[in-house]
Amino acid sequence: MPREGFERQLQQLQNKVLFMGSMVEKAITRSIESMKSRNLEAARQLIADDLEINQIRYEIEDDAIQLIATQQPMAADLRTIIAVLNIITDLERMGDHAEGIAKITLMLGDEPPLKPFIDIPRMADRTKHMLRRSLSAFITRDTTLARQICTEDDEVDNLHEQVYRELLVFMLQDVKTISRATYLIWASHNLERMADRVTNICERVVFMVEGKVEEMNVSKY
């Protein structure tokens, strides 16, 4: 197959990663919205839709393997494909975390909310912002941006800690809130893990461009 064909296929592979990234981004939004509005139907739908994210992950994986097998790429091209394979794993796990939040929504059911949702949606917004830009860094091979995004993970960690402490106070004051507060801590933890996954993506971007593996931000959790 001519070289031009390979370039196009590699481009298509990266386009699919962006497509999957957008699916995950929307899944995070929907998970938080279903939790905020206690919309159990939306939460169930989100859990069902996670299959689509898994499907596209396997589709991209197949394409990548086929590309390696038929084109035997070298150096930067090979690193790109390896990065793609790793990024889709991270994205798929992020999708699972969003699904996890939807499951927590189901567990919370129609119990009254403990407090207005402020920090958890904020964590979700930060994470989505990081995710979107990490994939931009992937497309534009921007390692400076990738490194900068990694430092932003601390903000999400801090928010998680804040949510954790706040909910701890609730639990200490009133034992009846323990189950609800625990669920919310799980949701917050899911978001914190998602942000960590974004730093993984950024590490892969650096690997893809510079050819070296670098641990860029060690999360507190």
Partner 1 sequence: MFPGRSAIKWRITFSYVILLVASLVCFLLFRDSLSALFIVSGITVLLIFLLSLYLSSNIAKPLRGLGLKCRDMARGKLELEEESSSLCEINDLLQDFAYMTSSAKQRFEAFLNERRQWIGIVDQMEDGVIISSEEREVQFMNSAAAKILQVSRRESLGHPLVEVVRDYEIVEAVYRCLKTGEQQSKMVRAEGSSLSLRMTAMPLQVPQRPGALVVIQDITELNRVAKSRQEFVSNISHELRTPLASIKAAIETLEDGGIEDKMAAHLFLGKAGVEVDKMTQLIQQLGEIFRIESGSVAFKIELQNIVPLIEEVSQELQIQADRAGLEITVNISTGPLLVLADRNRIKEAIANLLHNSIKFTPPGGNIEISAWQEDSFVAISVADTGIGIPAEDIPHIFERFYKVDKSRSGEGMGLGLSITKHIVLAHGGDIRVESEEGKGATFTIILPGDREG
Minimum CB distance to partner 1 smaller for 105 or for 217: 105
Interhelix angle 119-140/143-173, rounded to 10 degrees, is 170
Q: Does 45 bind partner 1 (CB under 8 A)?
A: no
Q: Which two tokens stand for residue 169?
A: 């106070």
Identified binder of partner 1 from the candidate list 25, 96, 153, 196, rule CB under 8 A:
25
Q: Does 139 bind partner 1 (CB under 8 A)?
A: yes
Rg of the chain over all Cα atoms, to the nearest angstrom: 19
Minimum CB distance to partner 1 smaller for 18 or for 78: 18
Residue 61: C-alpha distances to residues 49, 68, 88, 109 (Å): 19, 11, 8, 36
Residue 95: C-alpha distances to residues 2, 18, 45, 159 (Å): 36, 14, 13, 21
Minimum CB distance to partner 1 smaller for 1 or for 116: 116
Identified binder of partner 1 from the candidate list 3, 41, 116, 213, rule CB under 8 A:
116
Q: Does 78 bind partner 1 (CB under 8 A)?
A: no
43 vs 40: CA distance, rounded Å: 5
Q: Does 11 bind partner 1 (CB under 8 A)?
A: yes
Q: Does 128 bind partner 1 (CB under 8 A)?
A: yes
Inter-residue contact 108 to 41 (CB < 8 Å)? no
Residues numbered 161 to 180 that lie near partner 1 (CB under 8 A) are none
Binding-site ranges for partner 1 (CB under 8 A): 11, 15, 18-23, 25-26, 29, 116, 118, 128-129, 132, 139
